Amino acid sequence: MVIRATLGPHWAATSIPKRVVFLDREVLTQRGEFERILVHELFHFVWVRLSNRARREWSDLLAAEFEGRARGELGWSAERRKANLSVKDARTLSRTWRGYTRESFCDSAAWMYSGLRGHDEFSLASRWTRRRAAWLKNLATNGLRL
């Protein structure tokens, strides 16, 4: 995998097929943001290696949050996608829902593993973050084949 510094309209992007993470040069100068964004991008590679069962379990966890009317998220990319969702998306596993689950997974991993204790984008209530943390710890313990 290669990490390249670039200038562009986004802080970061990942190309799974090319095994490349692109980071805006400005991110490299911002302690905390660099770690958070890098961890998020690296977890896109983890997402593609998860089993279908693990992805479904993550989706079910998020569906329970959605039905519980959980507000907030653990990053802008998931928050932006969550704002456009409906109950139908969660029940039918629409393309919109799948995009949200992927970004939520990566944002949650960044929240958990970047070392930041707080951030403006960490707006999900602790009731829900505890559940996500437990799931991610289980993933780390049991491996990608959950």
> Diameter of the chain by CA atoms?
42
Percent share of the chain, pLDDT over 90: 60
22-39 pLDDT tens trace:
777 776 676 778 888 889
pLDDT value at position 8? 54
pLDDT value at position 4? 54
Domain count, the chain: 1
In this structure, are residues 63 and 90 in contact, taking their beta carbons and an 8 Å threshold? yes
What is the spatial distance between Cα 3 and Cα 60, in angstroms, rounded to a whole number? 32
104-133 pLDDT tens trace:
999 999 999 999 889 999 999 999 999 999
In this structure, are residues 74 and 129 in contact, taking their beta carbons and an 8 Å threshold? yes
pLDDT value at position 87? 83
In this structure, are residues 107 and 74 in contact, taking their beta carbons and an 8 Å threshold? yes
Q: Between vectors from CA 46 to CA 114 and to CA 116, what angle results, nearest 5°?
A: 5
- Domain with 65, as residue range(s), is 2-142
At residue 72 the predicted structure's pLDDT band, cuts being 50, 70 and 90, is very high
Q: What is the pTM of this model?
A: 0.85
